[in-house]
Amino acid sequence: MNFLRGVMGGPSAGPQPSGADTIQKLCDRVASSTLLDDRRDAVRALKSLSKKYRLEVGIQAMEHLIHVLQTDRSDSEIIGYALDTLYNVISNDLEEEEQDDSEEENSAKQVDDLGSQFTEIFIKQQENVTLLLTLVEEFDFHVRWPGVKLLTSLLKQQGPQVQQIILVSPMGVSRLMDLLADSREVIRNDGVLLLQQLTKSNAAIQKIVAFENAFERLLDIITEEGNSDGGIVVEDCLLLLQNLLKNNNSNQNFFKEGSYIQRMKPWFEVGDDNCGWSAQKVTNLHLMLQLVRVLVSPTNPPGATSSCQKAMFHCGLLQQLCTILMATGVPADILTETINTVSEVIRGCQTNQDYFASVNAPSNPPRPAIVVLLMSMVNERQPFVLRCAVLYCFQCFLYKNQKGQGEIVSTLLPSTIDGNSVSAGQLLCGGLFSTDSLSNWCAAVALAHALQENATLKEQLLRVQLATSIGNPPVSLLQQCTNILSQGDKIDRRGSKVQTRVGLLMLLCTWLSNCSIAVTHFLHNPANVPFLTGQIAENLGEEEQLVQGLCALLLGISIYYNDNSLENYRKEKLKQLIEKRIGRENFIEKLGFISKHELYSRAAQKPQPSFSSPDHMMFDHEFTKLVKELEGVISKAIYKSSEEDKKEEEVKKTLEQHDNIVTHYKKVIREQDQELEELKQRINTLTSQNEQLQATVTQQVSQIQQHKDQYNLLKVQLGKDTQHHNSHGETFQMNGIQTEEVSKLKEELEEWKNKHELLQGQLKEKDSVIEKLNSSQLEMGTTEQSSQTSKFGGLEHNNELQKELEMLRSQIQLQSAEISKLQMENQKLQVMVLTTTADPMLGDSGATAATSSELEGRLEQEIKELKSEVKALSEEKESLKQHLDSSSSTVAILQDEKSKLQREVAESKKEQDDLLVLLADQDQKISALKIKLKDLGVPVEDEDDTESGDQGDEDEDGDEEEQD
């Protein structure tokens, strides 16, 4: 114990041993002592020395401590001391106790190397990490908590290696997931930190953690802690969620399919009193917004992003974000991140973009949110980061949104300008002609996005007229942009003058690209082309080289999209001008300055405009795509001769004519498809009626069979009764009654026979009508077969209906045969009755009196049953007659439809003949032009394969329709 007192700093006599000697003696005690208490005391002493003598303890005691973890697992106290000691040795967290400033500086230089070296020694044996995973499973607080901290420190020092060991360990990740369910908050919170380090840059572990129900547990923790009002635990959970979702499409899809996006909405329910924004709340909300952006990032697959955007709209998350956007008292960094988040939630999603266009700011009078945001963008007093966020939001609102582009441009047109309210167009024009260069650039880029890939709006924007000053006539927006561009050095501006010129040149390039009318308006001003050639030909500094490159691009667009409508500025003349004043090689070199610029490469990486300073704000992401697309074609157009240009224009015209013919054919095909759909609907109704008729016929056949069986039974019973008649006088009376009833039945049968003959006559008339229809159909079939094969579905169905009518006629004939059989049997009964009346009856009259009364009752009952059966048969005949009448009406309807179809077929045949003649002429022209182009060496795509593929698709569609 004296030795321990010396170690722990107690009073002792004699010289004090050094730290290394003390650690060596403690290690010997841990290795050699047989008593558990002695080993526990020694490990406790090593723990107390491990912070001050980190290097010595790590070198001498690590092996012994690992041995303690393997052998003394039954004692939780010594295991806890050993884990704490290893944590102090491996961790890089410095203790400031008992250290001078000089010592702190020296130790800080070596701390990273020490932690990494000790970690490498520990994980060299993979069994050590597996042992540590086993200890983390222990429920004892003194074992589990230091184990979690030690494993977290190992992951910080040697993350990839430890991740691989845990990944191959059986149930390694699953064991660590149990930490989130621990009821002790300290262990749960440190478990979140451990999973943060475990999931860094490892997609396999991220997937395992996600499928171990991590999303559910983390969202529960965030809710329990108070969402954005929670503490640092919420921040740690959000960082872990970002690790699991960022750049992991599988986990993003799992998060969306699990309806976890709906659980994010309460995070952004910020109260009306926004004055109490603590630093932790700002951090939490910032991370929550970043998590939303991870799910809808433009770098994600388009399908996944679109589904997440729709889910955010349907659950109300987008509406909640717009509420924060328009709220007052929100911190600037939260407002900026909210704008960026809303931007990516609406980017490319028409539903979300329409909703954002309808959002109004809570002002009096209410103004659209877009207008309020544009006010911030063109206001030079607003922070630079906020202005960039508003520009990004406006770009995302217009991305693939032709409706929104039209609404923005319409606010600039003379017919829609409202003098009482500020519109988006007025704000953009104000920013475009402001004295602040950053406002010029932002407004120019925003207006360029309103024209992106929309030739109609480019033409409409040419109508915009601006009043420059009182007394002067108004000038067009295009003319004013070129005026400012040419007078850029003379105007006093705040900021970079190059930035203003770059913004205007990007706007003009976007405006003129793929719009010949805009090019004509631009060239109509005689000062534009000399200005561009002068700028390109000068030898300017490095900053002006970017402007030279953009001027070369604008001049190249004026050549490539020139329709030669202006005689002085035809393509050939502009090329000659470049050759004389600039030189083709010099022009191509200046054009290449754009793509070689460093700021161009930065802007091409991602859509969001993120710049370190306003001076670096030069290029827009969408404009880099335009430069990449046009740089090559402009270089080729400069070297083309006039003859090649003429041939190319002729080819373009013929292709346009061919496209017009194709569109006409598409229109005809659509109309024919509509007619086919109508015919299919008619056929479906007729088939349903036919099925109903068949069902009724089958029911009647079954009923007739039942009546036939009943009649056979009655006949057998009547034969037995006639054999037992013994009374002479009574039998005469009864036979008289029976003969009367039989005569009535005979009369009724005669009436039915007459009705049956009438029905047969009507059927013969229907047969003659059907034969006429068949003959006329056969005559029409040979002429109509080539052009309107799809329309014969209705006529072929008429044949099916005729066959079904013939089946009905055959069934009626069978019924008539059965009636004739019944008549024969009735005649036989009459003969039997006559024979019974003619033959003298022998026997005692008194004895037969009782039997005669019984026979009389039976006969009366049988006669009643026969009457009821006759009535049933009459009703069935009436129903059959009604079905025949309905079938005759359907035949008449089909005959009318056939006549209509014949007229339509004749008309369509004439139209098709005309179209075939046009096609033949057109194909001859196209083939001749292709031959000319091939002779001139121009590559021409062979459309035979594509046409045959299209024809095959049409044939397959036709076959499917015939099968239907």
Lowest mean pLDDT among 114-128, 142-156, 229-243, 853-867: 853-867
Local confidence band at 949 (pLDDT 50, 70, 90 cut-offs): very low
pLDDT at 550: 94
CB 228 within 8 A of CB 281: yes
Please compute the mean of the pLDDT values over residues 492-506 and round it to a whole number. Answer: 82
CA distance readout (Å), 281 to 222, 270, 352, 720, 873: 13, 11, 28, 106, 90
| Band (343; pLDDT cuts 50, 70, 90) | very high
Supply the pLDDT for residue 244.
95
- Find out whether 235 and 269 touch, Cβ atoms under 8 Å: no
User: What is the pLDDT confidence band of residue 701, given thresholds at 50, 70 and 90?
Assistant: confident
442 vs 822, which has greater pLDDT?
442
Note the pLDDT of residue 770: 64
What's the pLDDT tens digit per position in 242-251? Answer: 999 999 999 9
Q: What percent of the chain has pLDDT over 70?
A: 75
What distance lies between CA 690 and its chain's CA centroid?
43
**What integer best gives the mean pLDDT of the chain?**
81
User: Would you state the pLDDT for residue 7?
Assistant: 43
Q: What is the pLDDT of residues 281-294, one digit of tens each?
A: 999 999 999 999 99
| pLDDT at residue 508, as a whole number | 96
Confidence of residue 676 (pLDDT cuts 50, 70, 90): confident
Rounded CA gap, 568 and 87, in Å? 83
What gap in Å lies between CA 299 and CA 347, rounded to an integer? Answer: 12
Give 561-618 pLDDT, tens digit per residue. Answer: 988 888 888 888 999 999 999 888 999 999 999 999 899 999 999 999 888 888 889 9
Out of 142-151, 276-285, 463-472, 533-542, pick the least confident.
Answer: 463-472
Residue 861 structure tokens? 């009952």
pLDDT at 680 over 80: yes
Give residue 539's pLDDT. Answer: 78
- The mean-pLDDT minimum among 42-51, 202-211, 468-477, 737-746 falls in 737-746
Mean pLDDT (whole number) for 56-68: 90
Q: What is the mean pLDDT of residues 671-683?
A: 88
Residue that wins the pLDDT comparison between 468 and 426: 426
Ordered alpha helix ranges (H), 347-423: 350-358, 369-377, 384-398, 402-410
> 723 pLDDT exceeds 90?
no
Kindly report the number of other CB atoms within 10 A of residue 769's CB atom. Answer: 14
Is residue 727's pLDDT more than 90?
Answer: no
Which helix (DSSP H) or strand (DSSP E) does residue 361 occupy?
strand 360-361
Q: Is the pLDDT of residue 131 over 70?
A: yes
pLDDT at residue number 342? 97
1 pLDDT above the threshold of 60: no
pLDDT at 878 over 80: no
Q: What is the pLDDT of residue 170?
A: 86
Q: How far is CA 206 from the centre of its chain?
A: 24
If you average pLDDT over residues 620-636, what whole number do you get?
A: 92
**Confidence check: pLDDT of 843 > 50:** no
Tell me whether the omega of the peptide bond preceding residue 365 falls within 30 degrees of 0, making it cis.
yes
**Can you say whether residue 93 is alpha, beta or left, with left for phi > 0 and alpha for psi between -120 and 50 degrees?**
beta
If we measure between CA atoms, which residue out of 309, 442, 310 comes closest to residue 373?
442
Quote the pTM value. Answer: 0.66
The per-residue pLDDT for 713 is 84
Plot region of 562 (φ>0 → left; ψ -120 to 50 → alpha; else → beta): beta
pLDDT, tens only, 367-383:
899 999 999 999 999 99
pLDDT at 50: 87
Is 320's pLDDT higher than 60?
A: yes
What contacts 721, CB < 8 A, 6 or more positions away?
855, 858, 859
Can you tell me the distance from the alpha carbon of 638 to that of 586, in angstroms, rounded to the nearest whole number?
Answer: 12
